[in-house]
Structure 1
Amino acid sequence: GTPTASDVTSTSVTLGWAAATDNVGVTGYDVVRVSGGQRTVVASSTSTSVTVTGLTPGTSYTFAVRARDAAGNVSPLSGTVAVTTSGGQGGADCAVDYRVAGSWPGGFQGEVVVTNTGSSPVTNWSLGWTFPGNQTVTGLWGGGVSQSGNTVTVTAPSWATTLAPNASASLGFLADWSGSNPAPTSFTLNGSPCTVD
């Protein structure tokens, strides 16, 4: 099955997946890093989980899993999971407060406050989150915004590119939604996970 990620650190990630069934019997699994057209086996396991180590801080990776059986057959690759390791240049401890300031049929106004809870300034900061529903940002003030699918990336405004320790940046946006409007449950600042207030 498609792997899921947990325990993401600056240099490692734990991946888990559902067991495969095979008429010969599965003997193990390969974890494959997918990068463009390249497929690289980065770990192997006889169980349905493995910790991939040796990763680079503040870097995005895409992983998939394939099963092996006693006859040497290899299954097609599973679906992929995207992981961004913590840390890296400008990585920071951070906290985010997200709220819906107002809503109407098919649209809403959202507010996000991000606070640098670390001890070092974060320069050229970028805040990211993924909407759980069908929400699309139509306008934002307090930064630049781009959206790919459900993933939103907000870049620092030109007048406030540095977030000092204990400093906060406030963002407001307008968005469309359909079906439901659940709040994002995770945010990243320069690739590092933030706590959500």
Structure 2
Amino acid sequence: MKRICVFSGSSAGRLGQYRVAATRLGTLLAERGIGLVYGGAAVGLMGAVADAAIAAGGSVTGVIPQALVDREVAHTGLPDLRVVGSMHERKALMAEMSDAFIALPGGIGTFEEIFEVWTWTQLGSHAKPCAVLNIEGFYDKLLGFLDHVVDEAFLKLVHRGMLLASTDPAALLDMIGSYQVPSETKWISSDER
């Protein structure tokens, strides 16, 4: 595994533990020789994970739209900052460059990003692991809701299992490193209800 894309909030969130875990993840990526690909900002959890990876000697690539550079949120200390024209270009380049994806706590942009790449995995567009770092139970209700979606026959259990989750950054990286994405059709038939 060469690079992992980390999606996260441009805010640090309410709990200090979010920043602590983001920093730990950035440090671990560098220590394990795994490059970080992320949204290119200097603020919030995005900045924390990047700063930690840089401080530990890791490879960090930021991808940011010009509109956000103009708002002065780009991380000016990155060794590799790629400026693109739109959010669509940003997500496409981040996905192309990465071998796996992790979502830290964040808002609707973070959710949209991890759900999009998870959908691509489900559809067979790529076979890259997708995961959430469930710091302080941040994703508990979402994970429970996804179980409900399975119960209601809108999502196969095998596809629900494609979204890995752990409360520990090191354990999550281990899970991602050993995970093999199953190849099973997305479509749910009437006999599976």
TM-score range, shorter chain: under 0.3
- TM-score, with length taken from structure 1: 0.26
Q: Whose helix proportion is higher, 1 or 2?
A: 2
Which protein is richer in strand relative to its size? 1
